[in-house]
């Protein structure tokens, strides 16, 4: 038991040392050929490097929306968490505006109220009134908390964990927008197909019942 534990520990240390080499944090010493030294890259590693690496891996493994990951990862990797969160919610805002077919004058929480309101294109007809209103408030709340404050003052995103939570929320919102937009496009296409079929057959006022043509 003790020998096996010692072997596992030794193997772990070897793997960790090799990882430091692969990352460029260790290299052969210029003074002692049989020793290794910390590189300049290793000296420049910030204190929170490991936490940042773990956080980055969480986002990379989360299967984020492809537009979202391209938008947030550069600033997130630099440790600019407030910038990453603002960019994520900005993408949500732009996606809602485009899917709702609204102009650039619609922004922020007012945009969400219009897009998901009773006459909005993103109002899901399959949801009852309470659920539809809750969805609108979810979008409005996310934009109000994470996007609008950053437009007027410095945002306070307390480290990578809070940033990850906000980015994952943005991902869920984007997925909802994509789904509802596709659903509405399908319904519009189906309605157009029905209209074309009815036009080809003649409008109801043009069709005469069989008894009207008898005799």
Q: What is the pLDDT of residues 136-171, one digit of tens each?
A: 999 999 999 888 655 544 456 778 888 899 999 999
Determine contact, residues 107/93, Cβ cutoff 8 Å.
yes
**pLDDT tops 60 at residue 205:** no
The share of the chain scoring above pLDDT 70, in percent, equals 73
Q: Can you tell me the mean pLDDT for 183-199?
A: 62
Q: What is the pLDDT of residues 26-71, one digit of tens each?
A: 888 877 777 888 788 777 666 655 556 677 777 777 788 889 999 9
Q: Tell me the two tokens of residue 44.
A: 């420049």
**What does the pLDDT read at residue 89?**
94
**What does the pLDDT read at residue 152?**
47
Indicate the pLDDT class of residue 187, thresholds 50, 70 and 90.
low
* Beta pairing partners, 38: 26
**pLDDT tops 70 at residue 92:** yes
Domains, the chain, ordered by start: 9-43 (no CATH), 49-200 (1.20.120)
**What does the pLDDT read at residue 147?**
82
Task: Specify the range with the lowest mean pLDDT, choosing from 10-19, 36-45, 157-166, 193-202.
Answer: 193-202
Alpha helices, DSSP H, located in the chain: 2-22, 40-43, 49-60, 66-77, 81-99, 108-115, 129-142, 148-152, 159-201, 210-213
**Sequence-separated (6 or more) residues with CB below 8 Å from residue 112:** 96, 136, 139, 140, 143
Three-state SS at 211? helix
What is the spatial distance between Cα 18 and Cα 11, in angstroms, rounded to a whole number?
A: 11
* Beta pairing partners, 196: none
**pLDDT tops 50 at residue 88:** yes
Q: Tell me the two tokens of residue 4.
A: 């096996």
Q: Can you tell me the mean pLDDT for 69-96?
A: 91
Q: Which of 144, 152, 159 is nearest to 84 (CA)?
A: 159
Q: Can you tell me the mean pLDDT for 100-111?
A: 93
Task: Tell me what the pLDDT averaged over the chain comes to.
Answer: 79
Determine contact, residues 48/65, Cβ cutoff 8 Å.
no
**What does the pLDDT read at residue 43?**
72
């Amino acid at each position: 038991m003790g020998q096996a534990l010692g072997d596992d520990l030794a193997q772990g240390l070897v793997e960790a040392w090799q990882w430091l080499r692969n990352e460029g944090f260790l290299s052969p010493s210029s003074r002692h050929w049989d020793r290794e030294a910390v590189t300049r890259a290793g000296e420049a590693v910030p204190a929170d490097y490991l936490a940042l690496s773990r956080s980055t891996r969480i986002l990379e493994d989360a299967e984020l929306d492809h537009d979202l990951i391209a938008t947030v990862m550069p600033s997130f990797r630099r440790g600019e968490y407030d910038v990453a969160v603002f960019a994520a919610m900005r993408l949500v805002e732009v996606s809602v505006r485009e899917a709702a077919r609204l102009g650039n004058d619609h922004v922020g929480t007012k945009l969400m109220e219009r897009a998901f309101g009773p006459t909005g294109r993103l109002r899901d007809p399959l949801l009852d009134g309470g659920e539809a209103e809750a969805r609108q408030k979810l979008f409005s709340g996310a934009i109000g908390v994470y996007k609008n404050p950053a437009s007027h003052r410095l945002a306070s995103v307390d480290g990578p964990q809070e940033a990850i939570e906000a980015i994952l929320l943005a991902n869920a919102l984007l997925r909802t927008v994509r789904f509802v937009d596709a659903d509405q496009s399908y319904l519009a296409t189906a309605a157009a197909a029905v209209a074309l079929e009815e036009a080809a057959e003649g409008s109801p006022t043009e069709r005469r019942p069989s008894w009207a043509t008898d005799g």
